[in-house]
Amino acid sequence: AGERPEFIIEYSCSHRTHESTPTPEHGVIDVLGADCVEGYFPFDGDNNEATGKFASESTGKFYHLDGYFGKGVRMDDGYITAKDFRPGSGSFSVGLWFKTGGIPGDPALLSNKDWRSGGNPGFVLGLSGTSAFFNCGNGHGRFDTGAVLPLDFKDGWIYVVWSVDREANTVGVSMDFEPFRTTPIKEEFRGASFDTDLPVRIGQDGTGTYGKSFAVLIDELVITNRALNNDDLAALKKFYAAE
C-alpha cells in the first residue's frame, strides 16, 4: 500500500501471558458506557455484534480460538462487514486485544478504502511488521501515523487503541494502556469526511480483496463514537488487568 514513514514511538515491555478466562457478564460496554460504544465484538465462538447498534455480515471462514476472554478469532480467510458504521467527519476509537507471532505484510484491521494505495480515499487501521498504523487518503494525498509494537510483542497479548479525534485534529495510539501518543492530522484532512462508497470491513480493506489477510488472533474488539482519552485507558486497564 505504498511507503509509510518510520514510526519512532516506542513502548515499554510488559507481562503478556494470560490464560483465557470467561467473558465477564459486565464488560467493556459498562466500562465505557453504552452511549459511547458503537460496536462490540466479544468473538465468543461467533462474530455477533453485541450492542445491536449496527448490522454486520460475515464473509468467508473464521477460526475461533482461545482468546483473552473466552474465544477470540483469526480472520485468515474471512472478514466482517460493518454495514451501518460510517464515521464521516466524526471522532471514533477502536480498541482490541491481539496476539501474534509475527505480522506479514500490512493487513487492514478496519478499513473502508482500497488499501492498494495509501492515497486512495478513506481510512485504514492495521498492523505491519512491528507497528500499528493509521492511514487516510483523499485521492491525491495521504496522512500516516502509528506506533512501534513493544519489543516482546511475540510473547503474548497486547492491547491497542486508536483514537481519532476530529475535534482536536489528532490521531492517538496507545499500547498496553500507556497514555496516548498523538499526531496532528494534516491540514488537508481536517474536517473532511473519511467515508467512501465502500463499506467499513473488519479484517480486510473496503474492497474485501486486499492481498494481505489479517492472520492475527484478536479479541474484545470495541468501536466507540468518540475519541477515547487517558481516563478511558485507566478504566480499561483496571477492568482488563484487574489493577
Over residues 129-165, the pLDDT tens digits come to 889 999 999 999 999 999 999 999 999 999 999 999 9
Q: How confident is the model over 205-232, as a mean pLDDT?
A: 97
Q: How far apart are CA 185 and CA 169, in angstroms?
A: 5
Q: What's the half-sphere exposure (Cβ side, CA atoms, 13 Å) at 2?
A: 17
Position 84 scores a pLDDT of: 87
- Residue 80: name the closest of 201, 225, 228 by CA: 201
Q: How confident is the model over 39-52, as a mean pLDDT?
A: 96
Q: How confident is the model over 83-87, as a mean pLDDT?
A: 92
Task: Provide the pLDDT confidence category of residue 25 given band limits of 50, 70 and 90.
Answer: confident
210 SS3 class: coil
| 72: Cα separation from own chain's centroid | 14
Task: Provide the pLDDT confidence category of residue 4 given band limits of 50, 70 and 90.
Answer: low
Rg (CA), the chain: 16
Taking a C-beta distance cutoff of 8 angstroms, is the pair 168, 178 a contact? no
Question: Could you give the maximum distance between any two Cα atoms of the chain, in Å?
Answer: 47
Q: How confident is the model over 199-209, as a mean pLDDT?
A: 98
Q: How confident is the model over 212-233, as a mean pLDDT?
A: 97
Q: Is the pLDDT of residue 115 over 80?
A: yes
Task: Provide the pLDDT confidence category of residue 12 given band limits of 50, 70 and 90.
Answer: very low
* Cell of residue 4, nine digits: 509509510
Position 19 scores a pLDDT of: 84
In a 10 Å sphere around its CB, with 0-12 CB exposed, 13-18 middle and 19+ buried, how is residue 243 labelled?
exposed
Q: Is the pLDDT of residue 176 over 80?
A: yes
Q: Is the pLDDT of residue 43 over 90?
A: yes
Q: How far apart are CA 139 and CA 194, in angstroms?
A: 12
